[in-house]
Amino acid sequence: MSDSFALNAEVRELAGKGASRRLRKEGKVPAIIYGGAKNRKPTSLTLEARELVKALKNEAFFSHVLTINIDGKEEQAILMDLQRHPAKGHPLHADFERVTKSSVVHKKVPLHFTNEDQCKAVKLQGGKIQHSATDVDITCKVSDLPEFIEVDMAKIELGTVLHLSDLVLPKGVELVELNKGADHDAPVVSIVKPAGIIDDADDAEEDAAEE
């Protein structure tokens, strides 16, 4: 987590859909920051749309501790939710949670599938990679928060299905779904055999049938 991100914000006094529309027309994005000490109240914020859009282009922004400068006072936070325009994709509203290094967070992080072009099941056996998930829900301390979870596909064989329990997790990171029980061990990625490809087992069955 070598990257660092900072956003400038102002306390927003006016709330409601009408006020939010006016802010967006002025190149602003409404936001809120919450959490922290028990007596801390949520604070409505206004962000510069241009600054936020630039930060969102970096995937690491979504899983890093951010510095939010609120009227000259710094707050440490992570992005918990982002609402985008359904057609244009620009940000409409952002939710931030205040954190410290010891804070335990529940966060969604992306999966990075590496070495897919080097996978023998694809190169030599004509297999096809099918992704069942592109991100996972994790829980960990803020200091252990990863940018992504890597899934190395180089040695995955034809017909293999990788589940959540097969993922190699960084130290201190747990998968939320697996904490719910074995029934939640969902598939993540598989390499399937395209129609028309017959493997040795199929050949053996056909030979036995003919005999």
**Per residue of the chain (211 residues), what is the pLDDT tens digit?**
446 799 999 998 767 677 777 888 888 999 999 988 777 889 999 999 999 999 999 999 998 899 999 988 999 999 999 999 999 999 999 999 999 888 999 999 999 999 999 998 998 889 999 999 999 999 999 989 999 999 999 999 999 999 999 999 999 999 999 999 999 999 999 999 876 655 554 554 554 444 4
Residue 184 lies in a domain: yes
| Shared domain check, 93 and 34 | yes
Alpha carbons 205 and 203: distance in angstroms, whole number? 5
Residue 207 lies in a domain: no
Owning domain of residue 131: 106-192
What is the pTM assigned to this prediction? 0.77
Alpha carbons 134 and 180: distance in angstroms, whole number? 20
What does the DSSP 8-state code read for residue 148?
-
Domain count, the chain: 2
β-bridge mates for residue 131, sequence order: 189
